[in-house]
Every structure is written in C-alpha cells, then in structure tokens.
C-alpha cells in the first residue's frame, strides 16, 4: 500500500513539475537605446497592469547608451529587442546588420530645433552662423545633412560644438550654445518649465526632415527562432499604449517609480502625451504597423545624403507579420 501511495505521489509530483515547466514564462530582455524618458512609459504600464504576465512573458527592461551599443549587445545574445529610433536601424540594415524593424510607432519622429529669442532659429537659413550642440546619440545632429540639403542651408557654416550629452541642456540654458536638436516629445516638456525665457521651436518635419523614430528592433535569428514570443510582447505593449492613452498621468506615475532622479509627474505626463500623439492610428491595422511608404521615404532620404549607398529589398528592413499576428 505504501509503495502504491509513493507511486501516486511521485507521478503527481512529476505531472506538477511538467505542468510548471510547460507554463514557465518566456524571458524577454529589452534594451532602450537611451536613458529613461516618458517615451518608454507604455512598457512600464504594460508590466504594471499585468499584460506581460498575461502573455506568459518575464520582461526585463534596461537603459542604454546609444543605438550602436544596444544593437551590438542584442546581436551578441544579451538582449532580445531594442527600443530605438528606426532611422538608425535602417542605416544599420543597409550596411549588412542582420536585424529588422518589427513595430514602428513614430513614422515621423517629433524632432525639432530649440533656440532662444536672442539668437533665434525661426527658419532653416537661420542655422548658419549659430552654435549647434552635437553629442553621441543625437538624432538631429546625425541627420543634419538631410535638413541642410532639403533647405539650401550651408552645413559648413553651422558651428557644431561637441558636448557631453549629460550637460548639453544645461549649457544651452546658460546660453553657451545657440541651438540644440530636440525630441519635442521629450526635451521640450522637460526644459520649458525651468526656462525663464520662451523657446523658439522649429519643427523639422515641416521642413522635410521626416526621420522614423520610436520602434522595436530584433535580430533576424530571433524572428526565425521565437516569432510567437516577440508577437506576444508587441501585443502586450499595445495594451500598455492603450492604457497610457486613457490615463497619461497614471502612466507617468507608473514610470516614475522606476526612474531614479526623474522629473516631476507633470513633466513626465507631458512627455507621455506628446509621445502618444505622434503615434498614428491606421484604420484596419494594429498599433506599430508599418506602411511601406514610410520606409521607402526614409531610405530615399538616407541615400540622398550619402548615409547609405544602396537600398535593399523592403522586406529586408521590416516585417508586419508579428504586429498583425
């Protein structure tokens, strides 16, 4: 009798172990291409509301120090996905990096130039003769030739001042620099409340600099090996986006809990709102779906300024399969 009981208990234990292994959450490591900002709030909301857990995912998220470093870490197997500006991914893919955009949230990144009234940049030509901050990971500085070419600006007449990104904003506020390139959904909400002067803002998209921004990028090998895991992550993030739209202030509060040295909830809320406003809603498609025309336009722009030499077939750059799954 004892032997039968032991057998039953053993069998039950093995069944329980097998069940727990079968339903063990899939780990998914996400690296941001930069430091924390309101732009990333929907990811933390998705985690806070249990969307990742419901999708059977154990998601970890970490700050980055530039797109190149984040992509290298991903290709080395240290990360599963990178949240980054899509323009940098398009350039990397054109140069042979085996990665792909699997969701694009900002087909037109909310980029701009910020200046003060004493030395304003109200139109493109005003850039000539001004001191422009240039730093590692600066999207505007990276694609400045596009802006110059499209608007007949002599880029050589722009005084590019290399600065540490950690002190870039403070140097601008102290008028040591005339102009900074800015993400209008991040830098503008952060800096406006502490400025005693009104900023002059030039929206770069209005002057032809339509650079694709916020996106999810993964390695080609990951798409082949675990497409379901990636698809579940994108779907769970979509829940975070929807919840953030309904209550941006709550989304900001959720992010603030994980953001050491963060700005106020009010500032983060403005970042969240501006970020979500830049995500288009395309009828008949889920959030993150990519229009081929967006990629084509961006690639043509990159080639026109010599950022890339050749344009590969479009399926090399992106896929909608995991968003629509």
Same domain, 31 and 48: yes
Same domain, 264 and 140: no
Last residue of a domain, one of 176, 207, 238: 207
**Tens digits of per-residue pLDDT, 201-225?**
999 999 988 899 999 999 999 999 9
State residue 59's pLDDT score: 97
pLDDT tops 80 at residue 23: no
Phi, psi of 131 (to 5 degrees): -90, 115
Residue 59 falls inside a structural domain: yes
CA distance 189 to 269: 9
State residue 14's pLDDT score: 47
Mean pLDDT (whole number) for 27-56 = 96
Residue 13 falls inside a structural domain: no
Mean pLDDT (whole number) for 70-92 = 95
Last residue of a domain, one of 175, 207, 239: 207
Residue 8 falls inside a structural domain: no
Q: What is the residue range of 298's domain?
A: 25-108+212-324
Mean pLDDT (whole number) for 273-294 = 95
State residue 6's pLDDT score: 57
Same domain, 219 and 181: no
pLDDT tops 90 at residue 262: yes
Same domain, 176 and 308: no
3 sits in which H/E element: helix 2-22
List of residues 6+ apart from 193 with CB closer than 8 A: 264, 266, 267
State residue 304's pLDDT score: 83
Mean pLDDT (whole number) for 86-90 = 95
Residue 32 falls inside a structural domain: yes
State residue 8's pLDDT score: 45
**Tens digits of per-residue pLDDT, 241-257?**
999 999 999 999 999 99
pLDDT tops 50 at residue 117: yes
Same domain, 225 and 316: yes
List of residues 6+ apart from 152 with CB closer than 8 A: 124, 125
218 sits in which H/E element: strand 214-219
pLDDT tops 60 at residue 49: yes
Residue 3 falls inside a structural domain: no
Same domain, 122 and 223: no
181 sits in which H/E element: strand 179-183
Mean pLDDT (whole number) for 104-113 = 96
Number of domains in the chain: 2
CATH number of the domain enclosing 89: 3.40.190.10
CA distance 195 to 114: 12
Last residue of a domain, one of 188, 207, 226: 207
Residue 12 falls inside a structural domain: no
By mean pLDDT, which of 50-59, 134-143, 206-215, 219-228 is the weakest? 134-143
Same domain, 200 and 248: no
Same domain, 203 and 145: yes
State residue 165's pLDDT score: 81
Residue 253 falls inside a structural domain: yes
The better pLDDT of the pair 236, 142 is held by 236
Residue 67 falls inside a structural domain: yes
Same domain, 82 and 218: yes
List of residues 6+ apart from 24 with CB closer than 8 A: none
Widest pairwise Cα distance in the chain: 93
Same domain, 153 and 232: no
Same domain, 231 and 101: yes
Same domain, 194 and 226: no
């Amino acid at each position: 009798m004892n032997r039968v009981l032991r057998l039953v208990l053993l069998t039950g234990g093995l069944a329980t172990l097998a069940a727990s292994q079968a339903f063990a959450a899939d780990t998914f490591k996400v690296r941001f291409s930069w430091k924390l900002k309101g732009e990333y709030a929907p990811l933390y909301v998705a985690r806070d509301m249990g969307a990742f857990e419901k999708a059977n995912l154990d998601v970890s998220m970490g700050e980055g120090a530039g797109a190149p470093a984040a992509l290298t870490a991903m290709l080395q197997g240290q990360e599963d996905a990178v949240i980054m500006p899509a323009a940098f991914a398009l350039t990397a893919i054109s140069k042979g990096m085996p990665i792909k955009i699997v969701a694009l949230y900002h087909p037109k990144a909310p980029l701009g130039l910020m200046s003060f009234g004493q030395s304003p940049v109200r139109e493109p030509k005003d850039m000539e003769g001004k001191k422009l901050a240039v730093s590692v990971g600066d999207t505007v500085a990276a694609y400045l030739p596009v802006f110059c070419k499209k608007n007949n600006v002599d880029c050589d007449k722009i005084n590019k001042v290399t600065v540490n990104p950690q002190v870039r904003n403070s140097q601008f506020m102290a008028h040591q620099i005339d102009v900074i390139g800015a993400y209008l959904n991040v830098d503008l909400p952060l800096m406006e409340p502490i400025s005693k002067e009104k900023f002059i803002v030039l929206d770069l998209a209005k002057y032809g600099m339509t650079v694709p921004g916020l996106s999810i990028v993964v390695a080609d090998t990951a798409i082949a090996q675990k497409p379901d895991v990636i698809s579940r992550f994108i779907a769970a993030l979509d829940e975070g986006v929807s919840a953030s739209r309904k209550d941006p202030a709550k989304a900001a509060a959720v992010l603030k809990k994980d953001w050491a040295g963060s700005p106020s909830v009010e500032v983060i809320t403005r970042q969240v709102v501006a970020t979500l406003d830049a995500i288009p809603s395309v009828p008949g498609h889920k959030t993150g779906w990519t229009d081929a025309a967006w990629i084509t336009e961006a690639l043509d722009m990159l080639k026109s300024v010599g950022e890339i030499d050749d344009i590969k077939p479009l399926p090399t750059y992106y896929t909608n399969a995991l968003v629509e799954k």
